[in-house]
Structure 1
């Protein structure tokens, strides 16, 4: 009796919560960035806005596609459910179905043509509190969509793999922090239904991984900024 009365007295609020949950699972979502795998494009402490309707309308809380809405493109930054365990990741699409993808000494080769890299700059990169390594940042031209990437020469990483052809209905994804990312080099190509949505803006950001450990200093210059 009390439960029934509580539900009746709070039905407006309950409907709001259900509508909000449906909106997040089917239309738009926001995700905090927990790691440095997409540096320098995305930083730990960024919160990104994700369009869940960019590619498919799905049955909420599932990978079941109800209606295709758009085609993933090279250069899109996407959230995904990892095919190797289901962990939610955020990476960049570099290979479409049918593409031939290869890497030699950190240079990405797409359909037999090496990508171009420009504006190389060296700096120190903190990979853990108190551990700073040399890093090189550059602009990678991915099929006419330039974006920043980072290389960490001092770290052991998978900088080479033989040419592979991306299967139909699947995508090859890489992190922009090429030497510190768990991506298609390790988890394999990603089926379309595992793509959750396209991340298009950083909505808020905070510096929470400083040299002194946890802190919450806002990065106002990154608020409401487009992801490239």
Structure 2
């Protein structure tokens, strides 16, 4: 065993440094589902800034320094409070916010979101192709594109709720096809891994695996 370690010490050091970098500084995450459409597509690989919110001990999730807080509109990677699955969603409500959603329309701190039609599309949902409506949404200083599936049964309401300290309301941009805080509950700050900041690479793996070069390096949000 000692001889094996000596013979491969360079490679083992590389693996250690790689693990330190990926768990404490920067990471990447492939997009496996359509819950963030139209902004993130299946086959996108996004860059995650692990230092956006916290400094953690490498190779662990133990926080050692607070570096910042999520802002409304951030695209965040986190562990689901329900089952620990790694997810990516958008922050819509912050600690202390009073939020409500009725028939897909958001209200935050008494401000009703403004919506404008961007376009229409056909999307896959539940194994079939359905009509999709794409809108721009502006609320609480955040601006993002969202997608609605009018003919798909979905959770379209959130009862009036004040977000407790240290908790965040996360929603998918594909509002009617996303298992987000309406399903898994509010997300504690301790579950946050980092902020997704741009698309590194993208390929259409559902069809022909062709690279989508126009998406390479695309920024997800500008503060």
Secondary structure of 1:208 counterpart: coil
3-state secondary structure, aligned to 1:22: helix
Which residue does 2:52 correspond to in 1? 54
Q: Distance in 2 between matches of 1:63 and 1:19?
A: 16
Counterpart residue number, 1:64: 62
Partner residue in 1 for 2:83: 85
Partner SS, residue 209 of structure 1: coil
**Could you tell me how far 1:61 is from its partner in structure 2?**
4.2
2:162 matched residue in structure 1: 165
Report the Cα offset of residue 128 of structure 1.
6.1
SS class of match (1:90)? strand
Quick check: 1:43 aligned with 2:41? yes
On the 8 A contact 1:75/1:142 being kept in 2, the answer is: no
- Alignment gaps of 5+ in structure 1: none
How far does residue 143 in structure 1 lie from its aligned partner after superposition?
Answer: 2.4
1:174 deviates by 0.3
> Aligned equivalents of 1:6 and 1:142: distance in 2?
58
What is residue 218 of structure 1 aligned with on the other side? Answer: 211
Aligned to 2:105: 107
Count of equivalent residues: 221
Contact 1:151 1:179 (8 Å CA) reproduced: yes
In the alignment, which residue of structure 1 is the partner of 2:183? 186
The CA RMSD measured in Å over matched residues stands at: 1.3
Q: Which moved more, 1:158-167 or 1:137-146?
A: 137-146
CA distance in 1, matches of 2:62, 2:164: 20
SS at match of 2:90: strand
Residue of structure 1 aligned with 2:129, choices 127, 132, 139? 132
The Cα of 1:68 is off from its aligned counterpart by 0.4
Runs of 4+ in 1 over 6 A off after TM superposition: none
Deviation at 1:227, TM superposition (A): 0.6
- Shifted more, 111-120 versus 90-99: the winner is 111-120
Residues 74, 142 of structure 1: 8 Å contact kept: no
Q: TM-score, length-normalised on structure 1? A: 0.93
5+ long unaligned stretches in structure 2: none
